Structure 1
């Protein structure tokens, strides 16, 4: 299960939906939740959060809120396809359901930290 944070653009959500992944969109279903509430929701749903919000890194590493995996996307508009392809690869091959991870995806790199 995937939870898309409010800041994820709809075309990315649509492309992931077309790939058959089960997801919830904060923008569409839970608008206005705080980051901490999103983390709590992800823990309840056993979901991975996909976000572009740097605050999730701070919540995980500085405040210890390590209750779910997070995929943090960093890209410019012209890098969309490369980041989407990296995200798809992570969702299909890298994301570990057995352990928590904080994964940063850029157009030319994927960084994985086990939590």
Structure 2
């Protein structure tokens, strides 16, 4: 799969995803400091699934109706890289076929696919 990993998700997560065979664009490593509009545009234009902890992307999708190719919003109590990786591993094991073109909110306990109004 192709993932664009937001700066706040971290380089450790990006490297783990690469080690699992995924294609990864890491904002932290490759485009530090670009703004949210540029991130969502790049992800959509280049067919990346965005992984982020930034709730502003929900605003962009649901209020501004920005198009996307898939967004995984991590809403974790424990923001350590190991917890992010464990959570993503469980998500990918169970839901990898459903991530494209969906807005997915993930906590340590739940996975919720948010509906985008058309």
Where in structure 2 are there 5+ consecutive unaligned residues?
A: none
Counterparts of 1:29 and 1:44 in 2: how far apart (Å)? 17
Displacement of 1:53: 0.3
* Structure 1 range deviating more: 21-30 or 8-17: 8-17
Matched, 1:41 2:42: yes
Q: Deviations over 1:53-89 (max 9, x none)?
A: 0100011001100222100001133776555334224
Tell me if structure 2 keeps the 8 A contact 1:70–1:103: yes
Q: How many residues align?
A: 115
TM-score scaled by length of structure 2: 0.81
The aligned counterpart of 1:67 is 68
Counterparts of 1:28 and 1:101 in 2: how far apart (Å)? 25
Please give the root-mean-square deviation of Cα atoms over the aligned residues, in Å.
2.3
Counterparts of 1:87 and 1:16 in 2: how far apart (Å)? 9
Q: Which runs of 4+ in 1 moved over 6 A?
A: none
Where in structure 1 are there 5+ consecutive unaligned residues?
A: none
